[in-house]
Structure 1
């Protein structure tokens, strides 16, 4: 497969510019880059989900099929995503031949042939899964292999694996790599996308780096030392470090005290956040950082461990109870979790403090309007007034409304999850300034973010990897150090 000079724009946003990739037969080729580097966009162009605005994609020296010819694309390439695309309630055999079941006499599906052909294709690629098994009952690694075999049965020999190890433990990862090597020997080619760089060195022969929607380099893995790979991904740091400030006193009281917190997404988490301290949580998409932060806001119930806020046990699995306990939260997705789009800015900003604005179920309109106006001014929300529908706002101003609501309850713990995602530079600075103000007011702040600029404002950053805290970086860290920890690179 060869992509040359491919570009993709969505309105004014450049998602990919000068994308280049050449994958040779029978190799495992890694595609790496930080979030927003352009990896996902490139995959949509390589799998025929969208056409590039510029540039060319070729398979075996021939131009890529027409966009609407799905069968032709299936014969060329397939992508196994982090989230499964199999139908869980169907059997393995039914998933392998979905929409192309063998037909017997009278035009009815021949279930006997379906099962025998499924067994044959599984045996051909040495995948030991029962064709009659319900796909929902399979382990994640076996579901992934069913998806790979389904792609191979169409004739594709080029498979894109998008974060295939995110939901696997170490033993399962090693089994996946063993199967990948065996398939390579049979002539299958892989494009391997992962945030875990040590995996690139274990299973890939070549690596391509994207940064800021551009191709940066392609090199044999064996000739690219890990520090050089991290540097290619990080680039030169152009962001200035936050202004020097007084560090949190060592004797500042601990507001959030977490011991042994465990769930499906994270394991044995111990952490503390002091009054007036900002602690960052960093990690790749499958690290468990978001689930951990959401647990403090009442969105999940851990299976073990405790968390205390100002000495009192934090309630889990109940957003209202967490709010009452003193937790304010900016959720990860402002559209789905943060805003009620049919309501006004004022209603959205004050919905968490309605009891404070009235009694016996009656809310003073003037009090509510005054409180909302004060929040609008504090957050510098550009609006015609509290009555304006929140759906009219730009992304940056909409996110400020979510931040306003989180701050409205004067929380003791402020949980921020990707607080500046998808906002312009000016709004980003405004949102981060509010975080600094909360810190100065003595609030404990926990920040989860993929943006290094967000994490730069923290007093320290904890890095999660496969659900565990593996590193802690005090303020003043360098980009390459933090990225190396996030990607699981062991310099020792």
Structure 2
């Protein structure tokens, strides 16, 4: 560990008033999984305090505990020196703290005024809503906090930036002066981000305190005074932002693995390997003007934060979305955007980010799930194919082969997929992607939520696909997944901003993902 980081391993010293919010010794477990162990946080009145850490660091768990959605297994939370309310006292929690999430919690079809006072509308003598008073009180609330939004506007017509300010105003109307902003800039452009920061500073001057959660580290230096780092479900350091250089902050997030260098022992892709995937000027809701190419037998990684657009880009290539503009060709044939079935037939294999909602049919067997994408190939004769009949023997043979190839631990292809462990269930999703013998394999978080042995087995399938000449696109939050790639492209706010050949160091890739210069 570098001396620079060691210097900031302790809480900042010096005279301070009691924290507005203090969490100490916070531990939370879900079965065998430790989501947070001995976590701590101290946020002082009127500051913007950053909470940073890579995915899985424990940030979401801490937020759930700070907002009263979960009780810690150990540890305490105090507001203004007093114990946190009971979990059942929601009114007391709303008067203490509110969280503005990346996804809005306002009701889009209601007006701003209705959203501000939902479930607590002022009423008249007959018990009916007093609409005039509702609009007046909404206007007064917005004016008090300098939120320039029409109370009568439908919330769905507002910009993301204005919706966030409405949510902040609603929280402040309950009396809360501690606001958690969870990835507030993920859907904002640069001008909107600057306006949000200006509003945050004005609210700080009025006594509002922020906990600012972001994957974009340069924003921490723009708007926050103090930063707390979590890593691997543990508290790592808290320090004044002005005293913590960017290199030390990245090192705190990455840990000792910053010395790790991605594997360079693999055989390079031949220079004359033909391009299978050719993407040009692709623009969608979450990404802009993306150019990328993946050659035969090449594994290319896409890295970036949750708001980078990497997942939406991958889903577009898999046929789930239509882009606004641009082209993508697979083996010189245009991909059929917006049609998953046609995309599969065009030669794309797909492992989605959520195996439960997007990858598996729980009521079906392993074999049925694994062969679901190739039913048109399993007819016994041309006539049977035209009539839509399947060959049971062909389906069983393919299912058995896939179970063996993917090393799926089960009684057999007949076993319900709902009986499987997370690792084996993910192998079934991978088996279905490989069943069509794709020319392009698109994998999103392919090892999420699996054990170490299953993870290695799944990544070995990536190596096999590469050796077979398949073009592979790996979109992942896990550095271990990206180490198998020949190149890694980094997306930031929807644009490719960096490219790293195999052999990158953890800290340089993390710095690019978080939007800061290389340490």
Q: Fold match, TM over 0.5?
A: yes
Counterpart check, 1:436 vs 2:463 = yes
Taking the aligned partners of 1:364 and 1:86, their CA distance within structure 2 comes to 51
Length-normalised TM-score, structure 2: 0.94
Counterpart check, 1:308 vs 2:335 = no
Within a 5 Å distance, the mapping from 1:410-489 to structure 2 comes to 410-489=437-516
* Residue in 2 that maps onto 1:138: 158
2:288 aligned to which of 267, 271, 274: 267
Contact 2:262/2:502 (8 A) holds in 1: no
Taking the aligned partners of 1:119 and 1:355, their CA distance within structure 2 comes to 60
Bigger CA drift: 352-361 or 186-195? 352-361
Taking the aligned partners of 1:363 and 1:105, their CA distance within structure 2 comes to 69
Contact 1:390/1:398 (8 A) holds in 2: yes
Counterpart check, 1:32 vs 2:59 = no
Residues 114-156 of structure 1: CA distance to partner in whole angstroms, max 9, x if unpaired? 1111111111111111111111111110000000000001000
Counterpart check, 1:211 vs 2:231 = yes
Unaligned runs of 5+ in 2: 1-20, 380-384
Query: How far 1:101 moved relative to its partner?
Result: 1.0
Query: How far 1:164 moved relative to its partner?
Result: 0.3
Query: How much is the aligned-residue C-alpha RMSD, in angstroms?
Result: 1.0
* Residue in 2 that maps onto 1:257: 278
Contact 1:239/1:453 (8 A) holds in 2: no
Contact 2:262/2:505 (8 A) holds in 1: no
Counterpart check, 1:220 vs 2:240 = yes
* Residue in 2 that maps onto 1:153: 173
2:92 aligned to which of 72, 80, 85: 72
Query: How far 1:188 moved relative to its partner?
Result: 0.2
* Residue in 1 that maps onto 2:34: 14
Query: How far 1:313 moved relative to its partner?
Result: 1.2
Contact 2:485/2:502 (8 A) holds in 1: yes
Aligned residues: 492
* Residue in 1 that maps onto 2:341: 320
Contact 1:257/1:307 (8 A) holds in 2: yes
* Residue in 1 that maps onto 2:221: 201
* Residue in 2 that maps onto 1:108: 128
* Residue in 2 that maps onto 1:167: 187
Query: How far 1:296 moved relative to its partner?
Result: 1.0
Counterpart check, 1:333 vs 2:354 = yes
* Residue in 2 that maps onto 1:244: 265
Taking the aligned partners of 2:121 and 2:140, their CA distance within structure 1 comes to 14
1:23 aligned to which of 9, 21, 43: 43
Q: Alignment partner of 1:107: what SS?
A: coil
Bigger CA drift: 415-424 or 361-370? 361-370
Length-normalised TM-score, structure 1: 0.99
Q: Alignment partner of 2:403: what SS?
A: helix
Counterpart check, 1:378 vs 2:405 = yes
Bigger CA drift: 208-217 or 348-357? 348-357
Residues 190-244 of structure 1: CA distance to partner in whole angstroms, max 9, x if unpaired? 0000000000000000000000000000000000000100000000118774471
* Residue in 2 that maps onto 1:288: 309
Query: How far 1:62 moved relative to its partner?
Result: 0.3
Q: Alignment partner of 1:363: what SS?
A: coil
Query: How far 1:411 moved relative to its partner?
Result: 0.3
The list of structure 1 runs, each at least 4 consecutive aligned residues, that deviate by more than 2 angstroms after superposition, is 238-243
Taking the aligned partners of 1:65 and 1:465, their CA distance within structure 2 comes to 39
Residues 355-378 of structure 1: CA distance to partner in whole angstroms, max 9, x if unpaired? 221123221111111110000000
Query: How far 1:490 moved relative to its partner?
Result: 2.2
Taking the aligned partners of 1:141 and 1:306, their CA distance within structure 2 comes to 31
* Residue in 2 that maps onto 1:178: 198
Contact 2:263/2:503 (8 A) holds in 1: no
Taking the aligned partners of 1:293 and 1:228, their CA distance within structure 2 comes to 32
Q: Alignment partner of 2:187: what SS?
A: coil
Q: Alignment partner of 1:236: what SS?
A: helix
Bigger CA drift: 48-57 or 108-117? 108-117
Unaligned runs of 5+ in 1: none
1:276 aligned to which of 277, 297, 314: 297
Counterpart check, 1:48 vs 2:68 = yes
Taking the aligned partners of 1:240 and 1:371, their CA distance within structure 2 comes to 39
Taking the aligned partners of 1:60 and 1:346, their CA distance within structure 2 comes to 58
Taking the aligned partners of 1:62 and 1:124, their CA distance within structure 2 comes to 28
Taking the aligned partners of 2:33 and 2:243, their CA distance within structure 1 comes to 34
Taking the aligned partners of 1:248 and 1:429, their CA distance within structure 2 comes to 22
Bigger CA drift: 233-242 or 287-296? 233-242
